[in-house]
Chains A and B, each alone.
Chain A
């Protein structure tokens, strides 16, 4: 390869890493953005659960009553409490399993018949596994994240007029406008892009880069786990042998919840070990959110009879705290709803950056792809179609997934699996549609469909019972639909006749 300048080599790297991984990255960023509101989407997908304004202790009392009736002999009771983001009250007995349990109506304490659904958690899981088997998915997403970092840094290197062009956006100028939009969404939101990508990698840092584990711990994960968990005093007090315990009443929950909330922030769930015995223990877990540090797995232990605090939540050492803060910055569970909305809109900006990038690739080559040789022309045609399928098609698939939740019969076995199948089927159909239709029609038909499905989403609540409070979610859906309707409408307008492009020498340096 003849010697290139730094700008030329970085431009090449930016274009190809951006294009090859751009489609994957768009899927990761779109589902990640939706996952910001995973609990809210989950609530919408379980419309049998009523909106509640009961306090946590009142809800917990109902749960206790149910558990005492149904599982009086169980060693452990688990209660998932309703909170700011979710109205769901769940109970289970025995070892706590993720996502298991019976949903109760907090008003009556009776079980609710809730439809089985893949829930908002589907977007969350798709975001970091692409629905592949867990390890393969995590590695693929990790590779895409590295490509994103490479594209971001190389993009900074080649963007010559970084500050001069900071606010530059010239609409209705064809390729120029697409480049402007790509630059604007990239540069103005750059802190977010860099932060979210790097922190995403940090979450699974020991999976991606086990070098230090191999060097310092000989790759022994168990040893490492013990070292991470720290001194024995911090360890869980679980599975205690019941030594001569008598029957004893459980302590009042209201002051206990208040104390837990004071120490850790809002409480998400309780586990009660040996309920009704004198050696009862109550473990309270926090809703992630009153600090940036990701406090998953943390808990506070109380004596079940006296309510006294037995173990405060663990305090992280500075190095681990740093990692958990970085992970927390990615998970965005802190700062309340306003912070959540900020992340959501920034996430949409990231999606816009990726979309304008891949579209720019095809816009540049629409008129001159024939001059690129057979491989170049083929690549252009593939890119043109994949763009529609990945950008517009994925959006259709996401909203179709929500539609499936309300339209599929409630009694259908393995409903959750069927909802996911609808998602992939719609996505596949959008690829087929993109292949057969000319590019302009493909874009406007798919964007139009996505817009229509988003705008009419609230109408689904008219079918069957819809007891929750979904105003914000439905308003957002309508707003996003209108946002998608705008480019759709523009595509229906006749393209402006432009003067034939001056085919002259273009400086190779510009990623133009």
Chain B
């Protein structure tokens, strides 16, 4: 593998994939668990089982997309998803 191109974009993608991807998956799973119209235990299981597929796709996307900025933009979707997943807790904290 010739590495004539600078390393920063690649490093950025790696961080976006591993850490950003995990945070995205975490938020996605929480949001899904909260949105599923089932009792808590069922929602928990049904939301958590596909999480590894989501994480895998997020990692692949971080490397497939056009540039490192887009990778991070995708991972930033974690924020609205986290809001959906954790709104009762956030509402409590915000008073």
**Which residues does A use to contact B, with CB under 8 Å?**
1-3, 6, 9-10, 12-13, 15-16, 146, 149-150, 153-154, 157, 198, 201-202, 205-206, 208-209, 211-218, 224, 227-228, 317-320, 322-323, 326, 372-373, 375-376
**Which of A13, A202, A317 has a CB less than 8 Å from the CB of B42?**
A317
Is the beta-carbon distance between A9 and B41 smaller than 8 angstroms?
no
Is the beta-carbon distance between B3 and A375 smaller than 8 angstroms?
yes
Is the beta-carbon distance between A323 and B56 smaller than 8 angstroms?
no
**Chain A residue, CB-CB nearest to B7:** A1
**Chain B residue, CB-CB nearest to A142:** B52
In the bound assembly, the distance between CA atoms of A149 and B38 in angstroms comes to 29
In the complex, chain B residues whose CB is within 8 Å of the CB of A211 = 25-30, 33, 47-48, 51, 85
In the complex, chain A residues whose CB is within 8 Å of the CB of B44 = 212-213, 216-217, 224
Is the beta-carbon distance between B49 and A326 smaller than 8 angstroms?
yes
Is the beta-carbon distance between A150 and B60 smaller than 8 angstroms?
yes
Is the beta-carbon distance between B56 and A146 smaller than 8 angstroms?
yes
B94 within 8 A of partner (CB):
no
Is the beta-carbon distance between B63 and A9 smaller than 8 angstroms?
yes
In the complex, chain A residues whose CB is within 8 Å of the CB of B85 = 211, 215
Given contacts A209-B25, A376-B1, whether A216 and B43 have CB atoms under 8 Å apart is yes
Is the beta-carbon distance between B56 and A150 smaller than 8 angstroms?
yes
Given A9-B63, A154-B60, A319-B46, 10 more pairs with CB closer than 8 A: A6-B64, A9-B64, A13-B63, A16-B1, A211-B28, A212-B33, A214-B86, A217-B40, A326-B49, A372-B2
* Distance from B1 Cβ to chain A, minimum over Cβ atoms (Å): 7
Given contacts A209-B26, A215-B85, whether A322 and B49 have CB atoms under 8 Å apart is yes
Is the beta-carbon distance between B34 and A216 smaller than 8 angstroms?
yes
Is the beta-carbon distance between B41 and A215 smaller than 8 angstroms?
no
Q: How many residues of B contact A (CB 8 A)?
A: 43
Is the beta-carbon distance between A12 and B34 smaller than 8 angstroms?
no
Is the beta-carbon distance between B63 and A205 smaller than 8 angstroms?
no
* Distance from A2 Cβ to chain B, minimum over Cβ atoms (Å): 6
Contacts A/B (CB < 8 Å), 25 sampled: A1-B5, A1-B68, A3-B66, A10-B63, A12-B63, A16-B1, A209-B52, A211-B27, A211-B29, A211-B33, A211-B48, A212-B45, A212-B48, A213-B44, A215-B31, A215-B33, A215-B85, A218-B89, A317-B42, A318-B42, A319-B38, A322-B49, A323-B49, A373-B3, A376-B1
Is the beta-carbon distance between A205 and B48 smaller than 8 angstroms?
yes
- B49-86 residues at the A interface, CB under 8 angstroms: 49, 51-53, 55-56, 59-60, 63-64, 66-68, 85-86
In the bound assembly, the distance between CA atoms of A209 and B47 in angstroms comes to 10
Is the beta-carbon distance between B3 and A216 smaller than 8 angstroms?
no
Given contacts A13-B60, A216-B40, whether A1 and B30 have CB atoms under 8 Å apart is no
* Distance from A445 Cβ to chain B, minimum over Cβ atoms (Å): 30
In the complex, chain B residues whose CB is within 8 Å of the CB of A208 = 51-52
Q: By CB atoms of chain A within 10 A, which of B32, B60, B63 has the most? A: B63
